[in-house]
Amino acid sequence: MSMNTQGRPTGTGTTGFAAAGSSLLPSEPLLFEIGDTEHSGVDLPDVEIGGDYLAGCERQSPIDLAGLTEPEALRHYVRLSRLNYSIDSGMYPLGSCTMKHNPRLNEKTARLPGFADIHPLAPVSTVQGALALMDELAHWLMTLTNTAAVALTPKAGAHGEMCGMMAIRAAQDAAGEGHRKVVLVPESAHGTNPATAAALGYAVRSIPARDDGTVDVEAVKAALGPDVAAIMLTNPNTCGLFEPEVIEIAAAVHAAGAFFYCDGANFNAIMGVVRPGDLGIDAMHINLHKTFSTPHGGGGPGAGPVVLSAALAPFAPVPFVRKGELVEHAEGTHLGRITAFHGQMGMYVRALTYMMSHGGDGLAQAAKDAVLNANYVRARLGQVFSVPFPGQPVMHEALFDDSFLAGTGVSTLDFAKAMIDEGFHPMTMYFPLVVHGAMLIEPTESESKQTLDTFCDTMLGLAHDAKAGNAARFTAAPTRAPRRRLDETRAARSPVLKWERPAELPQAAE
C-alpha cells in the first residue's frame, strides 16, 4: 500500500468501499433488467375509442419498453445518479468548460408556470411576459458586449457558431462577396470552429500560434486575402490568454473585407470588464450554460445566443423580438429559422435570473475572481508543473504541459485518472492541441480559497508521487471510482449501442 501526501491510502486493493455493489456506490442493473413490459408507474384509465380514425396505421410491431413502478423508478435513478461526479459534490477544474455553481433560484424561476407552462405558439397577446423577458435578456447581453443585436435562438455554442457564420455568409452574399470561401482558424481553436466552417462549405486555413501562445497579427495579415470570409478567434484563447493584438487583428480582418467571429466560450473571464464589441468583433456566441450558469445537465441542454455587430444585425435569423413585437418570418435580409419556435426559453429565464442576481457589478467581480483563482492555481502549481507560456498572467484558466512528467512513466491521462482517486474531477486533457500533453485547469469564481488550496495540495502531492517513481498508482488509476478504466477501443470496434434482450429472458418475464 502506498500513501499520498494526505496520508490516505492509495492504489489497487486498498479501497474495499468502492467495490461494485456496495451500498454507497451501487452497481445498478439496467432498467430493462429490473422492469418489464407489464409494470407501470402511472395510473391511467382504459378507454373506449368512439370511432375509427387510424386509417389502418395501428401499431402491430412490439414496443418492448420496460416499465417501473414509482418506488422502483426512484431507486433506479437515485442509485444511478450516485455514480456521477457533479459540481455540487466537488470542484470541476475543466478548462474551457466553465463549470461554475448553478444557483437554485434559477431552477425555481424557470419552473414558474408563467414560463414553463406556456406554449410557443400561444397567441402573442397571451405571452407578453415571455417577450419582455427575451427583450431584457437581449439588453443584458448587448450591454455586456457592446453590440447592436443578438440572436437568442441558437441551442448550443456550436449552433451559435453556425448561426453567426451563416449571418456572415449572408452578409457577404448580399454584398456580392460570395466568392470568399476561406475561414481562418488558429491551431488552438475548439474543434467546433473548423467543423462549423466546413459544415457551411468553407475551407479552413490554420493560423499557427506564436511561442507565447497567442496569435500574431502579422500571421493573420499574411493569411488574409480576397478569398477569406472570416476569422474564427477565441478570446480569451484556449491557452487561457487574452489575445494582446486582438484589436489590430480585428482591424486587419476588416481592412481585408472579412468578418471577425469570436468564439465566446471564455467570456466568463471578461464579462463586465471588457466588452467584445470594443475589440471589433462582428459575431460572438455566448454559452449560457458556461458563463451564465445554466446547468450542464450531464451534456445539455445548452444555449448559445449570438451577439452581432451593426454590420451583421440585418442578417440575424428569425424569430426575434423588436420593439415588443415578435418577428417570426424573415423579411429583407434576415436569415430564416435555425430552430423551431423561439430557442431555449427555459435557459433564458435561468440566465437572466443569474445576471440580475449578480448585477453588472457582481458579474465583473465574478470575472475578476475567476481570473484570480486561475492565477492562484498557476502560481501554486507552477513551481512543479510545467508552464508552457510563462511570464504573463492568465485569464480564467491555467494551462500546463506534461514536460514535468518526463521520465516518470506517467502520462497526462494517468495523472488525470489519479485525480479521481483523490476526489477531484480531472482537468481538461490534451486540449488545446498546441502544447504537448495539455492540462487545462479552469477553477471558475465559484471555488473558495480553501477548496483551491486542497486542490493544489492534492495536485502537488500527485506530482511528487509521480516524480518519486510511483507510476503504478497512476497507471492503475482510478481504483476508487465506480469503475476502473474503461475499454474504449472495444466499445468503438464492435459497438453495442443498446440493450438486447437475452434469448433466455422472454418478454414480460413474470
Partner 1 sequence: MRYLPHSDHERADMLSVIGVKTTADLFARVPKSALLTESVDLPGHSPEFLVEAHMQALAGRNHAAGDGPFFIGAGAYRHHVPASVDHLIQRSEWLTAYTPYQPEVSQGTLQMLFEFQTQVASLTGMDVANASMYDGSTATAEAVLMARRLTRRNRIVLSGGLHPHYRDVVRTYVGDGPDLVCLKASPEGQGDILNRIDAETAAIVVQTPDFYGHLRNLRAAADAAHAAGALLIVVVTEVVSLGLIEAPGALGADIVVCEGQSLGNALNYGGPYVGLMATRKEFIRQMPGRLCGETVDADGQRGFVLTLSTREQHIRREKATSNICTNAGLCALAFSIHLSLLGEAGLRKLARLNHANAVGLAQALSGVPGIRLLNRSFFNEMTIDVGQPAAPVIERLAARGILAGVPVSRLEPGDGHVGSLIVLAATELTTKADIAALTEALEEALQ
Window 393-432: residues binding partner 1 (CB under 8 A): 393, 395, 416-417, 420, 425-426, 431
Which residue type sits at 283? A
Of 126-155, binders to partner 1 (CB under 8 A) are 126-130, 132-133, 136, 140, 143-144, 155
Rounded CA-CA distance 323/326 in Å is: 8
Q: Give the Å distances, CA to CA, from 8 to 3, 4, 15.
A: 5, 6, 11
Site for partner 1 in 185-244 (CB under 8 A): 190-192, 194-199, 204, 241-242, 244
Contact call for residues 418 and 82 (beta carbons, < 8 A): no
Strand positions, DSSP E, 311-427: 320-322, 325-327, 398-400
Residue 373: which H helix or E strand, with range?
Answer: helix 345-381
Region 7-36 residues binding partner 1, contact defined as CB under 8 A = 20, 27-28, 30-32, 35-36
Residue 392: closest CA among 169, 187, 240: 240
Using the rule CB under 8 A, give the single segment among 223-231, 252-260, 462-470, 497-505 that binds partner 1. Answer: 497-505
Using CB under 8 A as the binding rule, the residues of this chain from 447 to 486 that contact partner 1 are 447-449, 476, 478, 481-486
Comparison of 82 and 464: residue with beta carbon closer to partner 1:
82
Closest contact distance (angstroms) between CB of 76 and partner 1 is 7
- Select from 150, 151, 162, 209 the one that contacts partner 1 (CB under 8 A): 162
In angstroms, rounded to a whole number, what is the distance separating the alpha carbons of residues 26 and 73?
A: 15
Alpha-carbon distance of 288 to 237, in angstroms, equals 18
7, 13, 16, 45: which one contacts partner 1 (CB under 8 A)?
Answer: 45
284 DSSP 8-state letter: E
Residues 285-314 that bind partner 1 (CB under 8 A): 295-303
Using CB under 8 A, pick the residue from 7, 16, 119, 332 that binds partner 1: 119
User: Segment contacting partner 1 (CB under 8 A): 99-107, 224-232, 397-405, 458-466?
Assistant: 99-107
Decide: 251 and 404 in contact? Cβ < 8 Å.
Answer: no
* Closest separation in Å from C-beta 247 to partner 1: 6
Task: Give the residue with the Cβ less far from partner 1, 28 or 465.
Answer: 28
Question: In whole angstroms, how close is the CB of 366 to partner 1 at the nearest point?
Answer: 6
CA distance 272 to 94: 23
The answer to the question of residue 333 lying near partner 1 (CB under 8 A) is no
Task: Sheet with 228-234: list strands edge to edge.
Answer: 149-151, 306-308, 283-285, 259-263, 228-234, 182-186, 203-207
Which of 338, 399, 439, 459 lies at the binding interface for partner 1 (CB under 8 A)? 338
